[in-house]
Amino acid sequence: MDLVSGYKGVFGLVFGNENSSNEDSYVERLLDRISNGKLAEDRRNAITELQAIVSESQAAQLAFGAMGFPVLLSVLREEHDDVEMVRGALETLVSALTPINHAKGSSNEVQPALMNTDLLSREAESISLLLSLLTEDDFYVRYYTLQLLTALLTNSPQRLQEAILTIPRGITRLMDMLMDREVIRNEALLLLTHLTCEAEEIQKIVVFEGAFEKIFSIIKEEGGSDGGVVVQDCLELLNNLLRKNASNQVLLRETIGLDSLISILKLRGSGYTFTQQKTINLLSALETINLLIKVGSDADPGKDLNKQTNKRTLIQKKLLDYLLMLSVESQWAPVAVRCAALRCIGDLIAGDSKNCDVLSSKFLGEEPQVEPALNSILRIILRTSSMQEFIAADFVFKSFCEKNADGQSMLASTLIPQPYSMNYAPLEEDVNMSFGSMLLHGLTLGENDGDLEVCGRAASVLSHVLKDNLHCKDRVLRIRIEAPVPSLGAPEPLMHRMVKYLALASSMKSKDGKSRSSENSYIQEYILKLLVTWLADCPAAVHCFLDARPHLTYLLELVSNLSETVCVRDLAAVVLGECVIYNKSSDSAKDAFAIVDMMSQKIGLSSYFLMFDEMQKSFAFANIESSLNLKSFTRSSAASMEDIADSDNNDLSEQKNMDHPILSSILDSYFVNLVKGLEADIREQIVEAFSHPKVQVAVVPAELEQKMGESDGEYIRRLKAFLEKQCSEIQDLLSRNASLAEDLARTGGGSNSQSEQRVSGSSDKVQINALSRDLQETSKRLEMLKAEKAEVESEARKNRTLAEKMEADLRSLSGAYNSLEQSNIEQEKQVKALKSGAPSTFLDLEAIKAEAREEAQKESEGELNDLLVCLGQEQSKVDRLSARLLELGEDVDKLLEGVGDDVGNVEDDEDDEGTE
C-alpha cells in the first residue's frame, strides 16, 4: 500500500483533512464493493458508478487517486476472464487521468488528472500490465488501453518512454495495433506520434518494426492528400521518425523509396479544390520534404552528404515538377501551400549547381504562353500581394545564385534595357519579356508608392544576382536608363536611379508613414542592401556611385537622420564605409581621405563607430538564422484555418520590430557576415586615412618672402626655423590624429568629455609608444646576447669534456709508468740475489736492465711530447674562450675551478716516485 500512502501525503497537504466529504466517502464505498463484493453483478455496477463520478467530479478524481489505483490494478491483473470488469476498470482509469473542463479557476489550483497520471506512471509494473492487455481479444479492452497509455504519455512522456524501452516487445505490441481495426489503428497512431517525439531510440525501434511500410499503406488507403485527419497523423508520425535522424532517412530512401512520399504532392484531375484538411496534409508532406533536404548551419559533413543524396534522388523522381505545380502554376492553391512549396524549391537547389541547372531549364505554361520557370517565379515576386509569398519566392533566387557564378552570369546576360515605352508600360505587359527585361522593368517602373514597392522587391533579386560576382557587377554598371523626357538629359546609370528611388522612398515615408503597407516600410532596406552588395570589392561601382556628388551628401544626411530606423542608418553607414575602403579615385574631392573628412565633419567619427556597435547589438544581426522554417502541423496547431492562413492576415502594418519577417529575409546569414567582415576593414581604413592625411601643395604665405634689406643668411635661418616649427606641429597633429582614431576604432566612440580627455593624453601615448619601441629593440639585443652566451657556454663545455679526456689518458700513462718502475724494482732485487750467486750472470742482467730502461724511457718521452702538444693547443683555446667569457661578464675562475687538479696530483706523485 505504498502507492496509497504516498498519495495521501500529497492529498492531505493540499486539501487538509476533508476526507469526510461526500465524494470521498462515496468513492471509498464503491472501491470497497469492487474489492470485497461477493456478487459479480454488484461489483460491475460499482465500477460503472465509480467511472461515472470520476469522469464528472475533480474531488472524486482526487479521492480515487488516494485510494483506487491498487484496487483497479488488482482487477486488471487477476480478473482477465471477466471482460466487463476489465473494461470498466480501464474506462475508470482513463476518466481519472482525463482533465475535467470546468471554468478556469486559480492558476495555483491542483489538477487531479495530472497528479493521478504522475502517480500511475511511477509504477513500472503498471505500464507492463497495460501493454500486456493489448493482446486481449476484446476490442474495448485494447481501445481503452491505448487511450490510457496516450493519457499517460501526454502528461508524463519521458517516464513512459523509459518504461516502454525496458519492457520486452513493448513497442512491437504497439506497432501491431496499426494493423488492427480502424478505430484502434487511429488511437495507436496518436500514441506512437507522442511516443516518438524526441526519442531517438524509440524511433529506431519503430522503424525496425516496419513503420514506413505501415504508414504509407494507411495513407494510400485513406486517399493520399485528399484523405482526412488520419493522413495528417501518419505524416506527423513520419516526420517524427525522420527529424534529425539521418539513419532513418537512409532507411526510408533505400528500402521503400521516396515515390510514395512524392505521390502525396501530385495533384489529380479532381483535386484542384483545396479543403482545410487537404491543405494541412500537403503542408505536412512538404514538411517531410524539407526534413529530407534542408541542411542546418551546424550539420556535419556526413549529414550534408545524406542531404545531397536525398536531393539527387528527389530531383530524379521529378519532385521539382510537382513543387512548381503547387507553387507557381496552381495559383488557386492556398498561399501557405504555395509558400511552403517555394521554400522547398529553394532548399532543393541550394548549394547544388546541377539542381540549379535543372530549375533554369524548366518551362511552365501551355503553348503559346510558355515561359521559363524562373520568369514565372520573378513575376510572383513583382506582383504578389502576400508578404510571405514574396519572401518565399525571393528565397528561391537567393538559393539559385548562392555559389553559382554561371547561373548569375546567365541571369545578368539578359539584363538589356528596353525602350522608354516598354520601361513605363503597365506591369501586366511583361508576359513576353525576358528575365532581365522584366527585372529592369520592375526596377524602373515609376516613382509612386506602389511602384517603389515593386522596385524594392526587384532590388532584392538584383542583389542576389550581383552577390560575390565582379563580372556581373561590371556588366550591370554599364546599363543606362532613359530619362522620361529625352530633352532633360542623357540616359543615367542604373545605380543612380536606385539612389534616386532610395531618396524618394525616404521622403514619401516622412510625409505619410501611417498609410503605407508593411512592405513599403522596407524599400529603403532592400535598396541599401543592393548598394552594399554592389559596392563590395568593386572600385568601379564606388566610382560610379560617387560620380554624382549629391549621392554622398544624401548618404551623410541619411546616416545622421534620427527619424530613420536603426537598420536604415546602419546600412547607410556601411555604404559610406565601402566608399572609403574600395575607393581608388585620384580626384582629391572624392578620394578616401575626402570622404573620411566629410564623415568627421558631418557625423563625427565617434558617432559613426557607435553605429556599428548599435548594429551588432540589434536583434536582427544577433539572430542570423533564417525565419523561413516550415511550421509543424499537429491536430492542436491546425484546429482552425486561422493557424495555416497567411500571416498577412495579422496586423503587421504597425510592426516595426527587428524580428519582422521581411527584415529577417533581408538580413540573412550571408549578408550579416558580409557586414561584420566589412566593419573591421572600414575601421582599419578610416584609422589609416585619418592618421596619414594626403599631402597637399601649400601656397607660400606672404610673410615668408625675403624682406627688404634682409641678408640671404638671415632669410635662410628664418625659413629654417619656420620649417622646423611647422614639422614639429605636423608631427604632433599626426600623432594626435592617430591615437584619437585608434581609440575611436577600439571603443566605438564616447562622450565629448571622454574625447577631450583622450586628445589631451595623446602626447603621453606618443611618448609611451616611443619607449615601447626602444624597449622592444633592447629586448631583441638582449635576446641576441643570450644566444651568443649560450653558444660560448656550449663550446666551453665541449673543451672541458676534452680536457677531462686528456686527464684520463695521463692517468693511464702514469699507471703504466708506475707498473714499469715496480717491475724494475723487482728485477733489481732478483739481480741482487743473483749477484751473490753468479757474478757473470749479474753482468748480463745489468746489461739487459740498462737496455730495457733506455727503451722504456724513449717510449714514454714520445708519448709525453704528443700530450704536451695537445695540451698547448687546448690551452690556447681556453685562453680565447676565457677572454670571450670575460667580455660577456662571466667569472672564468669559477668555470675553470677544479680543472687540472687531478693532473697536478698525478704529476706530484710522479715526482715523488722519481725522487725515490
The arithmetic mean of pLDDT across residues 445-452, rounded, is 71
Q: Are residues 423 and 358 in the same domain?
A: no
Tens digits of per-residue pLDDT, 744-773?
566 554 444 444 444 344 445 545 655 666
Q: Is the pLDDT of residue 888 over 70?
A: yes
- The C-alpha atoms of residue 525 and residue 472 are separated, in whole angstroms, by 22
The arithmetic mean of pLDDT across residues 410-414, rounded, is 94
DSSP secondary structure code for residue 427 in this structure: G
Give pLDDT, residue 702. Answer: 54
Percentage with pLDDT > 90 across the chain: 31
- At 433, phi and psi to the nearest 5? -80, 155
The arithmetic mean of pLDDT across residues 392-402, rounded, is 95
Where in the sequence is the domain holding 623, given as residue range(s)?
412-508+520-637+659-691
Single residue among 331, 366, 401 that ends a domain in this structure: 366
Give pLDDT, residue 831. Answer: 73
Is residue 806 domain-resident? no
Is residue 814 domain-resident? no
Is residue 427 domain-resident? yes
Single residue among 335, 366, 397 that ends a domain in this structure: 366
Q: Are residues 325 and 258 in the same domain?
A: yes
- The C-alpha atoms of residue 59 and residue 24 are separated, in whole angstroms, by 7
Q: Are residues 339 and 457 in the same domain?
A: no
Q: How confident is the model at residue 459 (pLDDT cuts 50, 70, 90)?
A: very high
Which is higher by pLDDT, 709 or 875? 875
The arithmetic mean of pLDDT across residues 79-102, rounded, is 87
Is residue 850 domain-resident? no
Q: Are residues 354 and 435 in the same domain?
A: no
The arithmetic mean of pLDDT across residues 849-855, rounded, is 74
Give pLDDT, residue 366. Answer: 80
Q: Is the pLDDT of residue 423 over 80?
A: no
Give pLDDT, residue 765. Answer: 52
| C-alpha torsion angle, residues 598, 600, 602, 604 (rounded to 10) | 160
Q: How confident is the model at residue 898 (pLDDT cuts 50, 70, 90)?
A: low
Is residue 705 domain-resident? no
Range among 12-16, 384-388, 653-657, 845-849 with highest mean pLDDT value: 384-388
Single residue among 334, 366, 398 that ends a domain in this structure: 366
- The C-alpha atoms of residue 444 and residue 259 are separated, in whole angstroms, by 45
The arithmetic mean of pLDDT across residues 695-705, rounded, is 53
Q: Are residues 432 and 337 in the same domain?
A: no
Q: How confident is the model at residue 477 (pLDDT cuts 50, 70, 90)?
A: very high
Write the CATH number for 226.
1.25.10.10
The arithmetic mean of pLDDT across residues 584-603, rounded, is 84
Give pLDDT, residue 11. Answer: 38
End-to-end CA distance of the chain: 113
698 grid coordinates: 601649400
- The C-alpha atoms of residue 688 and residue 745 are separated, in whole angstroms, by 11
Is residue 852 domain-resident? no
Range among 124-128, 336-340, 502-506, 614-618 with highest mean pLDDT value: 336-340
Q: Characterize 699-715 residue by residue with b for buried, 16 or more Cβ atoms within 10 angstroms of its Cβ, and e for exposed.
A: eeeeeeeeeeeeeeeee
Q: Is the pLDDT of residue 123 over 50?
A: yes
Q: How confident is the model at residue 389 (pLDDT cuts 50, 70, 90)?
A: very high
Q: Mean pLDDT across the chain, nearest whole number?
A: 78
Q: Are residues 481 and 585 in the same domain?
A: yes
Is residue 816 domain-resident? no
Q: Are residues 441 and 531 in the same domain?
A: yes
Q: How confident is the model at residue 102 (pLDDT cuts 50, 70, 90)?
A: low
Neighbours of 754 (CB within 10 A): 13
The arithmetic mean of pLDDT across residues 787-807, rounded, is 79
| Residues 356, 347 contacting (CB under 8 angstroms) | no
Tens digits of per-residue pLDDT, 277-312?
999 999 999 999 999 998 765 545 445 788 899 999
User: Number of folded domains in the chain?
Assistant: 2
Which is higher by pLDDT, 840 or 159? 159
Q: Are residues 300 and 419 in the same domain?
A: no
Q: Are residues 581 and 673 in the same domain?
A: yes
Provide the H-helix boundaries in 197-318. Answer: 200-208, 211-222, 229-242, 246-254, 259-265, 276-293, 301-316
| Residues 599, 576 contacting (CB under 8 angstroms) | yes
Q: Are residues 566 and 685 in the same domain?
A: yes
Q: Are residues 666 and 562 in the same domain?
A: yes
Is residue 495 domain-resident? yes
Q: Is the pLDDT of residue 331 over 50?
A: yes
Q: Are residues 596 and 679 in the same domain?
A: yes
